[in-house]
Amino acid sequence: QAKTSGRNLIRFFDMGMQEQVTARAILGNELREAIQKNQFVLHYQPQMNEAGCITGAEALLRWMHPRHGVMPPDSFISVAEDTGLILPIGRFVMETACAQLVAWAARPETAHLTLSINVSAAQFRDQEFIDHTLATVKSSGVNSCKIMLEITESLLLNSLEGIIEKMFELKTRGISFSLDDFGTGYSSLAYLKHLPIDQLKIDKSFIRDVLTDMNDAVIVRTIIALAKSMELNIIAEGVETKEQRELLAKNGCFAYQGYLYAGPMATEELEQYMQQLIAKTTACTSTSAGNE
């Protein structure tokens, strides 16, 4: 073929963008329909302690698309955010999560479970977020101490003051906060001491190569030390191997989420998973701080 001229490149680029715009518009319409037709579900990924017992779960959104099957959030969250549809979707997530916690609370085997819920910046900035969250907590009858909201550093980029105020409002009602994907954001560490957060969640991108990449190992150790010195809880996501888990434990991180244990799953599957755990790990019926 002939050499690509600058003009052709621009045209090609324009076409690509146009296609992208169209695709996002279609997705936006489908999302609107998906909300009306209740095509969203929550899956739950276990969070484990050092004894190998499940302490809680993270709620992860799935779209049961009529033609494409199960769609992961990365394929539609950004469109949902741009179109504002993340607000009704987020309300669904909060309501479903609270109902799930209430169901767990009713049974002794699951009563101790906490639930981490992802909240994107667009949701948290919405002025109705606090009211809706508190109303949902109240009407569901959930114990708010079981709820942990996962926010990301992108929320903290501007107008920190209003954000902190909102966080305190929820904190005084018993809800706690985790800083998700920690280490991947742009913010400086200076904001950390002003935030009423309870937990840092080490991003999975640092865990992936932590055994072979010295930089990742140093970052992981530093985040754990930071959490310790600020008296924050620490959890690692994306833990896939025993060796990763052991390295984390050696450095003082004793809470884990990842495929080493289980991926996100439907609530019935989670209950089965817990039954299997209880059957094979006697430690899970009592609190254990020792080795496995």
* Contact set with Mg ion (CB under 5 A): 118, 150, 180-181, 237
Task: Give 73-76's long-range contacts (Cβ < 8 A, gap of 24+).
Answer: 76/27, 76/31
50 three-state secondary structure: coil
Residue from 27, 34, 57, 60 touching ligand C2E (CB under 6 A): that is 60
- Tell the smallest beta-carbon distance from residue 6 to ligand C2E (Å): 38
- Tell the smallest beta-carbon distance from residue 257 to ligand C2E (Å): 6
The total number of residues shown for the chain amounts to 292
Give me 151's structure tokens.
Answer: 């926010």
Task: Name residue, tokens 């959890």.
Answer: 235
Q: What single string gives the DSSP state of each residue in 218-273?
A: HHHHHHHHHHHHTT-EEEEE---SHHHHHHHHHTT--EEESTTT---B-HHHHHHH
Residue from 118, 136, 199, 244 touching ligand C2E (CB under 6 A): that is 118
C-alpha Rg value of the chain to the nearest Å: 21
Give the nearer residue to ligand C2E in terms of CB position, either 183 or 264.
264
Task: Name residue, tokens 């706690």.
Answer: 176
**Quick check: 69 binds ligand C2E (CB under 6 A)?**
no
**Quick check: 45 binds ligand C2E (CB under 6 A)?**
yes
Binding mask 233-272 for ligand C2E (x = CB under 6 A): ----xxxx----------------xxx----x--------
Distance CA 197, CA 150 (A): 10
166 three-state secondary structure: helix
184 three-state secondary structure: coil
Distance CA 155, CA 27 (A): 25
Give the nearer residue to ligand C2E in terms of CB position, either 168 or 259.
259
Distance CA 263, CA 240 (A): 10
- Tell the smallest beta-carbon distance from residue 254 to ligand C2E (Å): 17
DSSP 8-state symbol, 158: S
Site for ligand C2E in 201-230 (CB under 6 A): 204
Give the nearer residue to ligand C2E in terms of CB position, either 109 or 240.
240
**Quick check: 46 binds ligand C2E (CB under 6 A)?**
no
Binding mask 155-194 for ligand C2E (x = CB under 6 A): -------------------------xx-------------
Strand partners, 237: 257
- Tell the smallest beta-carbon distance from residue 110 to ligand C2E (Å): 20
DSSP 8-state symbol, 290: S
Give the nearer residue to ligand C2E in terms of CB position, either 50 or 181.
181
| Residue 259 binding target from ligand C2E, Mg ion, none, CB below 5 to 8 Å by type | ligand C2E
291 three-state secondary structure: coil
**Quick check: 56 binds ligand C2E (CB under 6 A)?**
no
Interface with ligand C2E by CB under 6 A: which residues?
Answer: 45, 59-61, 72-74, 77, 90, 93, 118-120, 150, 180-181, 204, 237-240, 257-259, 264
